[in-house]
Chain A
Amino acid sequence: MATDDDTFLTRPIDRRAFIRRGIAFVGAGTLTPPAFLRAVFDDDSRPLAAASAAEAAAKRHVLVVLQMAGGNDGLNTVAPIGDPAYFDVRPGLAINPEAALPLGRGLALNPVMTGLKTLYDRGQVGVVLGVGYPNPNRSHFRSMDIWHSASMEEHAETGWIGRLLDATRHEQDSLWHAVNIGQEEAASLRSRSSFVPSLGSVPAYVLQTDERYPAEGARRQQDFVQLHRQAEALAAQAEYGGQLAFLSKTGLEAYQSTVDLHAAVGVYQSTVTYPSTPLASAFRTAAQLITSNLATGVCYITTGGFDTHANQVGVQNGLLGTVSNALLAFYDDLAALGIADEVTTVTWSEFGRRVKENGSRGTDHGTASPLFVVGGGVRGGLIGEQPALSNTDANGDLKFTTDFRSVYASVIAQRFDIDPKDVLGAGYPTLPLYA
């Protein structure tokens, strides 16, 4: 993919090119979409048979990204219990060293993260230490934007995963090639030419009609699609055409994606029992899509609440426990399906928190923190260097030791087999994430 460095991140998103190229859809077995829907697509679209979708899936690695929104306190996630200074700066908040789960090198996991520790002991978790970037920004939005876009640009138009999708696009990709599991827009997924549907749950994902009037209902669905196509024509002339084009495209995608999803997913039985948390359900949905013949290759999941300015312990412990247990269930499920080594999960948060606790039994916005790379054949263990409490920055916060873009670059290069520069715009040192 050729890139012009000057305009790398600010080229306008070519949504109309996406529609012109056509939308491949999946027909599974004898289920084919109604004839009128063929009119939705350009002439060069073609049905994707189940067999080749599975083939496509078999050739590709799967990336799952879990965003922990709010700024997760790294020092109480992977705690330097071997450093006496930790207990000085966190008199109220320090985790109990006897209950903490040791990882080696004087570091230990928060005691609630037993699920993640199980995976770590199986060698399936790379703990990347001290992740951050130069001149750290402590505003939620700015720092999230920096992580999402992998750039310091003020108004980047694309996200790093969006650019990864653009770089790895295949003609035969299904509409469900990448999915955002949740309702908030995930800026990491913004791209120039890849469309990513958002999914709450599979059963709810249908366009409903009034079943008391079947003939009217069928005509109504046809006209719904037709109105959206006509809005596209209007978009070319109207001042507000940008919004109209976006709305009509998304409407068409929404309808077609319901057809594709229900045709392909069928009856999925997970092999493990997932915890009954919304986060665990999101991972279960991810497993469902990854193993279906929709060949989902990228899943983005967001979980929030990590902005613990006050009364941190109860809140953060609850959240970390939920994350840990969801990851364990997910990887147990993938292991039973034989694909744990083909699925990489990367967690991230927009920043860590301050070294010293504040007067409200919490912590304020900080800088570097650890993240986890789970599964996908990762070389388990501690990766990188834990920032020293004795060598903080001018504000008394941790200095980063690993640039987050190195994490992205390592996963991209070693699991997606493309040049990370095509996605990140520049080179970053590779981490020893893989053997």
Chain B
Amino acid sequence: MALSTERQRIQHLLRRAGFGYSAEELREYLALGLEGAVDRLLSPERVDDSAADAATAVLRDAAFQDRQMLLSWWHSRLVLTRRPLLEKLTYFWHDHFATGIRKVNAPGFMLVQNETLRAGALGPFRDLVQAITRDPAMMVWLDNRANVASAPNENYAREIMELFCLGEGVLYTERDIKEAARALTGWRVIASKPAPDANFPVATDVVFVPRQFDNGVKTILGQTGRFGDEDLVRIVTSKPECADYIGGKLWRFFAVPEPTGEMIARTTRAYFAHDTSIREMLRVILLSPEMYSDAAYRWRIKSPVEDVIHPLRALGLTGRMARIARDTQAQGQVLFDPPTPAGWNWDEAWINTNTLLARANLMNDLTRRGRPAQAVDAAALLQANGATRTAEEAVDFVLDLIVGGDVDPATRALLIEHIGGMHYDFAQANRSGALQGLFYLVLTMPLAQLA
């Protein structure tokens, strides 16, 4: 049984329900115990995140007119937030409702969508889908702003069923898509440039134009009526298949690769018992025995965003926010730019020789001593945590911080040897660069790619 101690379970929880942990964060969550930790993660409204808000306020304002600022804004939130599950869930929804900036072509639209996702991340799911249906970025992305009664555009109608709520081929037919497209007609995005020399427009309103709405009777998934978008959302999100689909995705993202029908039934029950609440579905998952089973342990391969953000949070490196975009891009991922409407491909799809080299070279950069807040000062961090006396102590501290969990004796022995083994001397290991090398080796070893 791999996750046998509460420490290991909380480390696993913080990897999955967040982006890892710094030494201080781990101490905080350990003090709460596992159930307390889950409760705190699921109640972000009780955690003060004003420091992250303040630190990103200027970036937020600039993001409306600058794509790089938009990326820096979200990257900074990812590094600084004290609400890791909320942020991880926003990331999950960003992939789920994948919307690409290349087509939307307005960073302000993407920012507003991101905030809509964060505000609705814990549910009710029905409200989140409704908000996304009228989100300006989504309306541009899947063309619902150009969906009119005389020439319906099926793009959003298809994806709301295939990708967002039911799954490919589940329950709906081509006929349902055509009828849904009719129910979605009549919406426009009102946008304008805030100043004559502004780069990009900003959405000021989303309006309904009755003469472009198909007011006829539609039959969608067995129900008939003069449906509009709210009816469509209500119909689709009230289907058990919707709860099953979303629950299955949540089980896979946070817990195990192959949730059983019985596990999905549990989250579906929570969905309907709590008015489509995502929070309650997650509570089922994060407190389940399956979450801490061998099947859940270390099966996910970190996505580029996780691979980059994790060491920055763990090591307190808050000085390279502007470089994060390049780092994730080198590994094959850029936020706000998913490759397809179904989002990114996960786990093994992230890994090839090119992207692994990029990961290793990033860790080289993060362990090149000399730039405070951009690269770890190994000696200082070990001193701050009282882990300098023996090679074993130093190695165990770094392993616990970065990979948290069991590590095979051969790996531990090699790392101990790297910093001097029996002849270990803290000052010497520091001078030679070996302590920096210890962090590099732990950050680049195969175990560290697993979450």
> Using Cβ atoms and an 8 Å threshold, which residues of chain A touch B298?
238-240, 243
Contact A304 B357 (CB under 8 A): no
Residue B345, interface by CB 8 Å:
yes
Does B347 touch A at the CB level, under 8 Å?
Answer: yes
Residue in B301, B355, B364, B418 whose beta carbon sits within 8 Å of that of A223 in the complex: B418
- Does the CB pair A358–B151 fall under 8 Å? yes
User: How many positions in chain A have a CB within 8 Å of any CB in the partner chain?
Assistant: 61
Residue contact B155 to A220, C-beta cutoff 8 Å: no
Complex Cα gap A233–B446 (Å): 12
A149 to chain B: closest CB distance in Å?
15
Bound form: Cα–Cα A6–B246 in Å: 33
Are B450 and A243 interface neighbours, CB within 8 A?
A: yes
Query: Does A183 have its Cβ within 8 Å of any Cβ on chain B?
Result: yes
- Say yes or no: A224-B354 contact (C-beta < 8 A), given A240-B298, A243-B450, A358-B151: no
In the complex, chain A residues whose CB is within 8 Å of the CB of B295:
239
Give the residues in chain B near A209, CB-CB below 8 Å. Answer: 364
- Among the 9-residue stretches B64-72, B283-291, B309-317, B407-415, the one with 4 or more Cβ atoms under 8 Å from chain A is B407-415
Among A224, A250, A304, A364, the residue within 8 A (CB) of B155 is A364
Give complex CA distance A213, B430 in Å: 11
Stretch from B140-148, B200-208, B236-244 at the A interface: B140-148
Q: Please pick, from B352, B441, B444, the residue contacting A198 in the complex, using a CB distance under 8 A.
A: B352
Q: How far is the CB of A289 from chain B (nearest CB, A)?
A: 13
Contacts of A142 in B (CB 8 A): 168
Bound complex: CA A231 to CA B441 (Å): 13
**Complex contact A184–B339 (CB within 8 A):** yes
Q: Which residues of B contact A207 (CB under 8 A)?
A: 357, 360-361
Please tell me if the beta carbons of A216 and B434 are within 8 angstroms of each other in the complex: yes
Question: Shortest Cβ distance from A329 into chain B, in angstroms?
Answer: 23
Are A213 and B352 within 8 A (Cβ)?
Answer: no
A220 touches B437 (CB 8 A): yes
Cα distance, A216 to B102, chains bound together (Å): 43
Surface stretch bound by B, among A251-259, A271-279, A381-389, A399-407: A251-259
Q: Is A132 an interface residue (CB 8 A)?
A: no
- Give the interface size bracket for B toward A: 35 or more
* Complex partner residue of B354 from A197, A213, A240, A310, CB under 8 angstroms: A197
B112 to chain A, nearest CB (A): 20
If A208-B364, A230-B414 touch, does A254 touch B168 (CB 8 Å cutoff)?
A: no
Chain B residues with CB below 8 A from A231, complex form: 411, 445-447
**Neighbouring B residues of A213 by C-beta, 8 Å:** 432-433, 436-437
Interface residues of A in 133-149 (CB under 8 A from B): 139-142
Q: What are some 27 contacts across the A-B interface (CB < 8 A)?
A: A69-B340, A141-B342, A180-B352, A183-B332, A185-B345, A185-B348, A197-B353, A198-B355, A216-B432, A223-B414, A224-B360, A227-B441, A231-B445, A231-B447, A239-B297, A240-B450, A243-B301, A243-B347, A243-B450, A247-B450, A251-B446, A254-B353, A309-B153, A309-B155, A310-B143, A359-B147, A395-B174
Q: A185-B345, A243-B299 are in contact. List 7 more A-B contacts (CB 8 A).
A: A140-B341, A183-B355, A196-B352, A205-B357, A233-B408, A251-B444, A359-B152
